[in-house]
Structure 1
Amino acid sequence: MSTTAVKICGLQSVEVLKSMINLPVDYIGFVFAKSRRQVTPAQAAELAAVLQDWEAGPPPAAVGVLVNPDMSSIGELMRTVPLQVLQLHGQESPSLCREVKASFPASVFKALSVRGEMSREERLAQLDSYAGCIDGLLLDTYDPVYGGGSGLTFAWELIPPYMAWAESQGIPLFIAGGLEPGNVKELIARYAPDGVDVSSGVEREPGVKDIQKVQAFVERVKGYDTAASRQ
């Protein structure tokens, strides 16, 4: 079985989440930022309670997806929802990431938008500014409206410098952006990221998860190593 972690993001329905409890999912993401998949803290608390009934191994970690939050809003959120990971998906500075990391009992993942016009030197300078400030790095496709969640892939050939940097920092690298059951095996075969993050790629309409697509995605990821070994 593949060791690649699976993160399903943008859950809004308790019923859908309950239908997933027999799947080996590692992270469940709740979006608190402006989005078609936005939930309130109260809704997220109800959803997070379902994770304790997970049947396929340890409960997934609850991830809160935030865009340019302030410290007080994070504190209020953490008092309402038992989040294990805070995913900062906006233009959060390294200093804010460091402050969040020091202030709350949760891991801090920083999402960066991959844009083709940046030079290698600019990418490395951006990455180095976050050294020691974050516990995980997530790459997503740039979206001018929502920051991410566009359902579009980015140029995967730009992944290697990010991967090398994450390895040098001893933190996991997650890939998002346009992933779905039909392309995730190719991504894993080419780049073997630590984790993959999907939202729109397992929906039947915007914001509505399709359990069959979720199951297919998880099977593609978790079954990759086993299938490859038979060839």
Structure 2
Amino acid sequence: MRPLLKYCGNHSLSDLQATLESNADFIGVVFAESKRQVTADQVVEWLKEVELSPQQQLVGLFVNPSVTEIDDVLQRVPLQVIQCHGNESKELVSSIKQTFGLPVWKVIHHHKGGLEQMKSFHGVCDGFVVDSKVKGQWGGTGETFDWSSVPPYLEEGKRQGVPVFIAGGINPNNVTKLLSFHPTGIDISSGIERDGQKDKAEISRLEERLKNNE
């Protein structure tokens, strides 16, 4: 069984065309301030040109959002998963989940207290994304963290009964090493890009590595 696959940071129609034709289970768009930020209006226009398969779900990434901010996007964009990628509290995540009735994932930026932070969200989150901690940035940096730290996160995910995606600097050249830890999911953004755009050749190369590892 290959891990769940999420391609994040889609920020153009061509990005969506490339990832929607892939084997990705989840397609991510970023509504928070970043170099891959998109607007609800942009996504609405792109979705008129492409279509998710029944096996794919659209994930919206937010950083320390208000409920109003998420509601504004959901009024127009048919998100199926909300991803909280900042330092949101358990109370805020719980409120978002109750308000919108959608699955909510929480990022854990890997650090010494990351596992305890993850435990504190037990019963609230429907999934976790463990990403690199880079000063001044919330994600999408292309930097990995020490993957020998992955197993305890995966064990905690099993205990909570939710998937754990590993993010940060994953690409076709290093994904085989990560797969040796048997993550339940992998989350890739810059690792399938060329010149800042999602690249079908890089996607194919990565998916071939996943297939050969099954």
Tell me the TM-score normalised to structure 2 length. Answer: 0.93
| Other-structure match for 1:224 | 213
Residue 90 of structure 1 deviates from its aligned partner by 0.3
| Other-structure match for 2:105 | 109
Alignment of 1:94 onto 2:90 = yes
| Other-structure match for 2:63 | 67
Residue 147 of structure 1 deviates from its aligned partner by 1.0
Residue 217 of structure 1 deviates from its aligned partner by 1.6
Residue 17 of structure 1 deviates from its aligned partner by 2.2
Partner Cα distance (1:193, 1:12) in 2: 26
Change over 3 Å in CA distance of 1:169–1:130 after alignment to 2: same
Superposition RMSD in Å: 1.7
Change over 3 Å in CA distance of 1:88–1:160 after alignment to 2: same
Contact 1:48-1:82 at 8 Å conserved across structures: no
| Other-structure match for 1:128 | 119
SS in 1 for 2:130: strand
Alignment of 1:198 onto 2:188 = yes
What are structure 2's unaligned runs of at least 5 residues? Answer: none
| Other-structure match for 1:229 | none
Change over 3 Å in CA distance of 1:127–1:222 after alignment to 2: same
Alignment of 1:22 onto 2:12 = no
Contact 1:84-1:105 at 8 Å conserved across structures: no
Number of equivalences: 214
Code of the residue aligned with 2:209 in structure 1: it is R
Residue 224 of structure 1 deviates from its aligned partner by 1.9
Contact 2:30-2:36 at 8 Å conserved across structures: yes
SS in 2 for 1:80: coil
Residue 50 of structure 1 deviates from its aligned partner by 5.3
| Other-structure match for 1:215 | 204
Q: Which 4+ stretches in 1 moved above 6 angstroms?
A: none
Q: Please list the CA deviations of residues 152-190 of structure 1 after superposition, one character each: whole Å capped at 9, or x if unmatched.
A: 10011111221111100000010000000011121112x
SS in 2 for 1:28: strand
Contact 1:51-1:59 at 8 Å conserved across structures: no
What are structure 1's unaligned runs of at least 5 residues? Answer: 226-231
SS in 2 for 1:137: strand
Residue 53 of structure 1 deviates from its aligned partner by 5.2
Q: Please list the CA deviations of residues 6-38 of structure 1 after superposition, one character each: whole Å capped at 9, or x if unmatched.
A: 111111221342244432110110011111111
| Other-structure match for 1:182 | 173
Q: 1:83 aligns with which of 75, 79, 84?
A: 79
Partner Cα distance (2:139, 2:52) in 1: 30
Percent identity of equivalent pairs: 38
